[in-house]
Structure formats: structure tokens, C-alpha cells
Structure 1
Amino acid sequence: MTTAVALESLEAPLIDSHCHIVFRNFDDDLEEVAQRWRDAGVGRLLHACVEPSEIPAIRALADRFPELRYSVGVHPLDPEHWAADTQEVLRQAAKADSRVVAIGELGLDLFRTKDLGPQLAMLRPQLDLAVELDLPVIIHCRDAAEPMLEELRERTLRGVCPRGVMHCWSGTPEEMQGFLELGLYISFSGNVTFPKATDTHACAQSVPADRYLVETDCPFLAPVPRRGKRNEPSYVMAVAQRLSELRGEPLTVVAQQSTRNACTLFGAALHNV
């Protein structure tokens, strides 16, 4: 089934549940990019935030594109953007705009650094803020499933673990099961289309129907056959198509289910797509 044929049968618009179109490599053609995501049947975008200085520009994008919702947060590899007042900055930004539907992207990353201390110092107040504001979290977790599970399990025992999603999933089925047991969702991006991503394929096949999302994480991780090029929200269709193949389900089912799941997790601001 080609994407063009599949689009004709879609009954629910897709939601790209994680993108970064604020990046400068979209400056020259963002209107054309927007037309392509609309033509592809993408009804909502969730724009992730990686550091507080992005927030005004992301808010301006939400003004420009009414289908866009966004998060506020600090990426685990950006400790230079965390200061004594950052939690309060994020709190006020989230409370000021109903289009803020999540805290993040936050998390842990041991791929580029082995120093967990600064990352935990940013992670914990953001998790606290999500609980306080009753917002889900968008979790970046790379080569750090064990410490992330430890942190979230301890919080679950204390009743202070927010709901959320493991974005751009690339872990093992065993790691996925640990996060599912904590009530988290699993989001698949362009890497699920990579031929050698066997663990990700296995996770896509076994994740419960009511617990998966689709995303691009653009401009990163463009799906096959555009791998290595700039990614964009319209390409979320390729992610959904690959999930439908791996799960042996029609594309319409994956589109409807992933959209339903995103609306369940992120709330009323993503409904009516």
C-alpha cells in the first residue's frame, strides 16, 4: 500500500507527538513544510522544548499554526540552561498558555556523558513540576533505562510519579515492559523504519494497542527512504506505515489508535483533530 492510497482511507488525522520545527533549518520553507504536513493528514503537532529560551519562539509558532501544541522543559544534555529559577520559569510558562500540554523533554542520557549528577538535578524538579501541574512528561532516555526506571519506580512508591511517554523509543522489549508497568506510553519515530533496528521492531510488534504514539522528532531521524536528510512532520506517515506493517494491522487502525492514545495522554488540547 502506498502512502497516497493509505491517505485516502484514513479516518483520523495523525498526530506528530514530538517535533522541533523551531530549529533554524526550517526558517526558509516552513510554510511549505506546513502544507505538506496538512496534505499528509497530520492534524496536530506537539512541539517539544529543549531549553527555556526557546519558549517564546515556540509560542509564536503556536500562534502561527493553530494545530500546534507544545511542552516546556530542559533536555538532559543541556545543563547549562538550568538555573536556580528555571523551575519557576517553566511553571509560569505552562500556567500562562493552555496550549502547553506537557513538561519536557526531560530525562537521562548516558550515551554522550556518564555523569548522572547534573542530569538528575534537572530531572527531579521537572518531574515534581509535572505532578504539581498535573501534566504528562516527555521523557528522553538514551542508554539510561536502568537509572530512569529506578527513579520512576521510587516515585511511584511515593505517589509522585507523573504520567508520560518514552519518546523516540530505541530500547529493548524488556526495558519497554518496565516503563509500561509504570503506566508510560511508548512513542516510535523514524528509527522504527531502519532495517537493523530489531529491538525497536520487536517493541512495535508487542506494545499494547492503547499505549503507543507516533512521532518524527524532526529535524532528526528521517525515516527510510529519506534517512540522512532533514526530517519533517509529514514524514510521521512513514512511521505509522511501518508500525502497521510490523503489527499486521491496517494503516487506518494505527492512525486512529495512535491519535486516540495521544489525546488520552495529553488531554483536551489535542482533541477535535
Structure 2
Amino acid sequence: MSAAPPLIDSHCHIVFRQFDDDLDVIAARWREAGVQSLLHACVEPSEIPGIRALADRFPELRYGVGVHPLDTEHWQADTPEVLREAAGADSRVVAIGELGLDLFRATNLDEQLAMLVPQLDLAEELGLPVIIHCRDAAEPMLALLEQRRAAGHSIQGVMHCWGGTPAEMHAFLAYGLYISFSGTVTFPKATETHQCAQQVPEDRYLVETDCPFLSPVPRRGKRNEPAMVRHVAERVAELRGQSLEQVARRSSANASKLFALPYQPQPEPANIGQEG
């Protein structure tokens, strides 16, 4: 690889056991790849101490606290208070999530909604953005957002690991949400994701790995890691007809703005001009 422009991996899971044996090597690779910041998502409360320890170990890491829609068994009556206390105890908590709806692997919509709504309320109470997982569930998610908007609620956050249609993307954009592209955007047959990457506004997209999952081409099928976010950015740049430097600068600035992540952009070369 040539010298890398600064990048932000806006969604990772390095607390998972797949990284137990070589995390220092993984960190050296993400730093070499130019990754200045990482946002670590949380799938259930027992992860929080481990993620906090990672933030102690890697100063470039910030994290969310939340419960994933497929982890309903970890939701208890006191979970909102557990999340509230965790967020209040560490300024490195910059989001609530990942939360959301998943009707691809489950059908318990009512149970997922009962867990989602209190987390959205908590994020609004704390003034934090949300990390939204939404798989085969755009319709009920949009219905919920509309109900909440009609009731005077606000939302800020990101549709993580975007895999929906362009029409769905524009619907979520209309609520002020950002769109984050993962390794899926590098898959040859992901035509709707490609269209979304072409259509998303300059100031509303992020890039991520969702590691250890969804490793991008050319490492598809292998363990993913934060350094691989560069391949995601390269493919987004290709789809948008832009340079890697432009996409790295824009996606990182967007992620830094949304989640208050550390980011020091390189000076913009004089010959780049306006970003299209």
C-alpha cells in the first residue's frame, strides 16, 4: 500500500475473541493504514468493561453502549440504567448502540421494539447519537421514526453497515441520519449498495469495517480488521469518481462531527479543488 490518508473506522468489534491473540499486531496495522480513530460498538452490557479496557489501551478508540436487536435475552428491567451509568462514567462513550431491528435472523419485532424505544429515549436524553442496525426492517424502522417525530422526538446517528435500497437510504437521510458503508460495498453483486454510495450526499456518509465481519475485497472470507477500512474507502471513491484522499477526508470529517472522534486531517492539496 502507498502512504495512507487519515481514515476513521466508524464501526468495529475488536473486543470479540477473534482478536484475543494478536491485537497489538492488529493495532500496528491500523495505524500504518492511517486509521486515526475507531468507534467501537457494543452488542450487550457485559461487553462494556472489556471495551472500556480497550479504550484505556488504545487512545484513538471511542465507544458506544447499547444492546443489539438480536441480543434481546440480555435486556433486563434495569438495562437502561446500566447504559445510562456507563455513559455517564466515561467521556469516551460517544454513542448509544448498536441498537435497531433485525428481521433477517429473527421475527420477534415486538420484543425488539420494546428494547429499541428505551435506547432511543436514552440517547435523546443524553444528547448522544445512535448506531442503528437495520436488516430487512426498513419499513418498521421508518414507521417508528415517523411516530417519534410526530411526538416531538429528535434523533441523530448513523445507519450502520448500509445494505438497503437507494429509496430506503433517502428516507433515512430525510430524518437527518448518516449512512455508513462497510465491506459490503466492495462486493461485486451489491448493486443497490453501489448505487447508494454514488447517491449519498457528501456530508452524510461514513466508512466502517464492522470487523471481524464482512471483510472487503480483496480479503473477503477472512477475518476483518480496522486497517481494512481503506479498501472500503477505495471502493467508495471509485464509485463516486473521486480520489481516495477526498473520500478519506470527507468520511472522516463526517464521522468526527457526528461522534466527536479524534481526527487530524491532512492539508488539502491545492489541485484537488472542490469535492463533487
Q: TM-score scaled to structure 1, two decimals?
A: 0.95
State the SS of the aligned residue for 1:169.
coil
The farther-off stretch of 108-117 and 182-191 is 108-117
The one-letter amino acid of 1:84's match is A
Residue in structure 2 matching 1:20, options 13, 22, 47: 13
Count the aligned residue pairs. 265
Distance 1:204 1:162 in 2: 22
The answer to whether the Cα contact below 8 Å between 1:218 and 1:232 also exists between their aligned partners in 2 is yes
The answer to whether the Cα contact below 8 Å between 2:159 and 2:180 also exists between their aligned partners in 1 is yes
1:67 aligns with 2:60: yes
TM-superposed CA distance for 1:270, in Å, is: 3.1
Residue-by-residue CA offset, 1:239-268 (whole Å, 9 max, x unaligned): 00000000000111000000110111112x
Residue aligning to 2:130: 137
Residue aligning to 1:112: 105
Distance 1:153 1:6 in 2: 44
Residue aligning to 1:270: 262
1:210 aligns with 2:207: no
State the SS of the aligned residue for 1:270.
coil
The one-letter amino acid of 1:257's match is R
Q: Percent identity?
A: 72
Residue in structure 2 matching 1:45, options 38, 59, 64: 38
State the SS of the aligned residue for 1:264.
helix
1:5 aligns with 2:2: yes
Distance 1:185 1:157 in 2: 20
Residue-by-residue CA offset, 1:216-258 (whole Å, 9 max, x unaligned): 0000000011111100000000000000000000111000000
Distance 1:265 1:157 in 2: 24
TM-superposed CA distance for 1:153, in Å, is: 1.4
Residue-by-residue CA offset, 1:172-195 (whole Å, 9 max, x unaligned): 000001000000000000000000
1:163 aligns with 2:181: no
Greater helix content = 1
The answer to whether the Cα contact below 8 Å between 2:69 and 2:100 also exists between their aligned partners in 1 is yes
Distance 2:256 2:105 in 1: 33
Distance 1:56 1:147 in 2: 32
Residue-by-residue CA offset, 1:156-179 (whole Å, 9 max, x unaligned): 222213201000000000000100
Query: Quick one: structure 1 residues 211 and 235, their matched pair in 2 at CA, closer, same or farther if it must change by over 3 Å?
Result: same
Residue aligning to 1:79: 72
The answer to whether the Cα contact below 8 Å between 1:6 and 1:251 also exists between their aligned partners in 2 is no
TM-superposed CA distance for 1:201, in Å, is: 0.2
Residue aligning to 1:186: 179
Distance 1:162 1:125 in 2: 13
What are structure 1's unaligned runs of at least 5 residues? none
Residue aligning to 2:272: none
Q: TM-score scaled to structure 2, two decimals?
A: 0.94
The answer to whether the Cα contact below 8 Å between 1:191 and 1:223 also exists between their aligned partners in 2 is yes
TM-superposed CA distance for 1:155, in Å, is: 1.1
RMSD: 1.0
State the SS of the aligned residue for 2:2.
helix
TM-superposed CA distance for 1:5, in Å, is: 2.8
Residue in structure 2 matching 1:196, options 189, 193, 196: 189
Residue aligning to 2:231: 238
Residue aligning to 1:255: 248
Residue aligning to 2:268: none
The one-letter amino acid of 1:253's match is Q
The answer to whether the Cα contact below 8 Å between 2:155 and 2:175 also exists between their aligned partners in 1 is no
What are structure 2's unaligned runs of at least 5 residues? 266-276
Distance 1:82 1:271 in 2: 34
The answer to whether the Cα contact below 8 Å between 2:96 and 2:131 also exists between their aligned partners in 1 is yes
